Amino acid sequence: MRKISLGDAVPQSADAVWAVIGDFGGIRKWAPAVEAESTEDTPQGKVRTLTMPGGRVISELMVDHGPHHYTYALDRPDMKLYRSTVAVRPLGDGGSMIELTVEFDPAEGTEITPATENFLKFLGGNLKAMKRAAAG
């Protein structure tokens, strides 16, 4: 399994940042590309369904959560395993650190370099959007 992480400090407190980016069912607070969202409790756990531009629908299963983090799994045909974590941790100066992580295991035939580059781009875009939303 591979793991990539990106993070950046913000001047807002962890609680203030988490109020904006920590709602699993409220991703549109910081992700303007999401056209529609819904969540439902299923026997497997909480599922977030996102409608993206062009009508593409993505379903994500929350597999872990805590006071300032959540992790979701996503079925992807190019991956044997895909998990993504959103976390915020307090810093000593009253600010906080937004940390985004993707853990993945490519399916046979999936080239690792382009997959890694795509995930880094995905994390970078999300981090930028989260920082902008947290700044208000």
The stretch 103-127 carries a mean pLDDT of 94
The stretch 25-32 carries a mean pLDDT of 94
Using the predicted structure, report yes or no on whether residue 106 has a pLDDT greater than 90. Answer: yes
Q: Is the pTM above the cut of 0.85?
A: yes
| pLDDT, position 98 | 98
Backbone angles phi, psi at 4, to 5 degrees: -130, 145
Query: How does DSSP classify residue 60?
Result: E
| pLDDT, position 59 | 96
Residues with Cβ within 8 Å of 74's Cβ and at least 6 positions away in sequence, in order, are 58, 59, 60, 61, 82, 83, 84
Using the predicted structure, report yes or no on whether residue 136 has a pLDDT greater than 90. Answer: no
> Which CATH number is correct for 2-28+63-135, 3.40.50.1980, 3.40.605.10, 3.30.530.20, 3.90.320.10?
3.30.530.20
Q: Where are the domains of the chain?
A: 2-28+63-135
| pLDDT, position 92 | 87
